[in-house]
Amino acid sequence: MKNTPTPHIEAKYGEIAETVIMAGDPLRVKLMAERYLENPVIFNKVRNMLGYTGTYKGKRVSVMGHGMGIPSMAIYSYELFNFYDVKTIIRVGSCGSRQMYVNLGELVIAQGCCTDSNYEDQYNLPGHFAPLADFELCRKAADACEKFGYKYHVGNVFSADIFYCEDERKANWTKMGVLADEMEAPSLYMNAARAGKKALVICTVSDHILTGEATTAEQRQNTFTQMMDVAFALV
């Protein structure tokens, strides 16, 4: 028996597609539904975390918000994977560059993620888990970027529970070649691994940690469409 609706998603079982493209900002989700989906039908309004199901080039796909941070992504992705039988989740979001060669507006495909979160502690592993993207999705995303002519980078990101961090050691992630900071990948990748599902994070660089450059909230909401093009190319 499916545990649906859940405390956070009011959809009935079967109303969500096997592939879900997620974004932290519900307004970005609304933009994706209007821009990419044919005949979108809303399936969730709980906490204003909007979710829609429609078709893209004849294929059934859903889009949904996940909020900010590892814990929020953990809740939504867990319920989608385990209660709604979602097979694939692709996150599209923003990130802060950690490298001088990774510029504003360029895409970062998170092949793996480093984190200071203790999310993995629940699994009682005799060591540290390395959260990784699904390789097939990662490769197809890179191929889509090549096809579209979009500037992209593939590699490690750093994901933290803390946005305003006072620990100066955080800068050491740059020395380890980490491309950018974001805040959701670990719980998504770990939930996918535990459930035997597929996941990928594609981000647009919204700000630069080293130079101080930044985009506006309006730009982040309305103009970061290249990552969406790539995500929908994977459906």
207 flagged as catalytic? yes
Active-site hit among 85, 116, 161, 207: 207
Residue pair 35/211 in contact (Cβ under 8 Å)? The answer is: no
Q: How far apart are CA 29 and CA 183, in angstroms?
A: 18
Burial class (CB in 10 A: 0-12, 13-18, 19+), 194: middle
Q: Which structure tokens are listed for 87?
A: 């097979």
Residue pair 158/115 in contact (Cβ under 8 Å)? The answer is: yes
Q: Taking Cα atoms as reference points, which of 234, 56, 225 lies closest to residue 139?
A: 234
- The residues annotated with a catalytic role in the active site are 207
